[in-house]
């Protein structure tokens, strides 16, 4: 199994999309990218910790490629929207890819460049960060599978 970590706004919607990908065995909501070693949703939602809401995806690379996961990431949020997705505003909702190794970094950079050249977003600049993996803080249990537990539709807009 392999890991990938993405931030694309509210982690409930990000988790929702990745859990439905064949070859993904687990998608876990959490926090990454901030300065605090111990953190909670109450702290992260203030926007002062530096953490982003992320989803760590465990996947079988024999069944789904990292490039396929990148496509799911790009298709389910607006990578031109700085520090916000829809009505969620703050650095904790930024578009970010935390790469786990040099290969993921290269693939993420190539996919971002391909998307920028595709013209899908016109002249708008892609603000997605591609940064090294940092300590993952698993979100509280009530955030895991939140949309499914509460019989709610995805809170993300598909683009």
Catalytic amino acids?
10
User: What is the C-alpha to C-alpha distance for residues 32 and 94, in angstroms, rounded to an integer?
Assistant: 11
- Residues whose CB falls within 8 Å of the CB of residue 42, separated by 6 or more in sequence, listed in order: none
Q: Which of 155, 154, 97 is nearest to 130 (CA)?
A: 97
Burial class (CB in 10 A: 0-12, 13-18, 19+), 139: buried
User: What is the C-alpha to C-alpha distance for residues 112 and 9, in angstroms, rounded to an integer?
Assistant: 17
Q: Helix (H) and strand (E) counts for the chain?
A: 5, 8
Q: Which of 25, 27, 26, 22 is nearest to 6 (CA)?
A: 27
User: What is the C-alpha to C-alpha distance for residues 159 and 143, in angstroms, rounded to an integer?
Assistant: 24
């Amino acid at each position: 199994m392999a890991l990938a970590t993405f931030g694309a706004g509210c982690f409930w919607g990000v988790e929702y999309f990745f859990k439905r990908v064949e070859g993904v065995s687990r998608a876990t909501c959490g926090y990454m990218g901030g300065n605090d070693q111990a953190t909670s949703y109450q702290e992260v939602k203030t926007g002062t910790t530096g953490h982003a809401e992320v989803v760590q995806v465990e996947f079988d690379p024999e069944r789904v490629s990292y490039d396929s996961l990148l496509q799911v990431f790009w298709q389910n949020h607006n990578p031109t929207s700085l520090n916000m997705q829809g009505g969620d505003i703050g650095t904790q909702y930024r578009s970010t890819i935390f790469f786990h190794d040099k290969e993921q970094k290269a693939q993420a950079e190539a996919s971002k460049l391909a998307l920028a050249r595709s013209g899908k977003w016109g002249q708008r600049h892609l603000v997605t960060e591609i940064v090294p993996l940092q300590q993952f803080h698993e979100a509280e249990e009530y955030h895991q599978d939140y949309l499914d537990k509460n019989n709610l539709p995805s809170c993300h807009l598909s683009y």
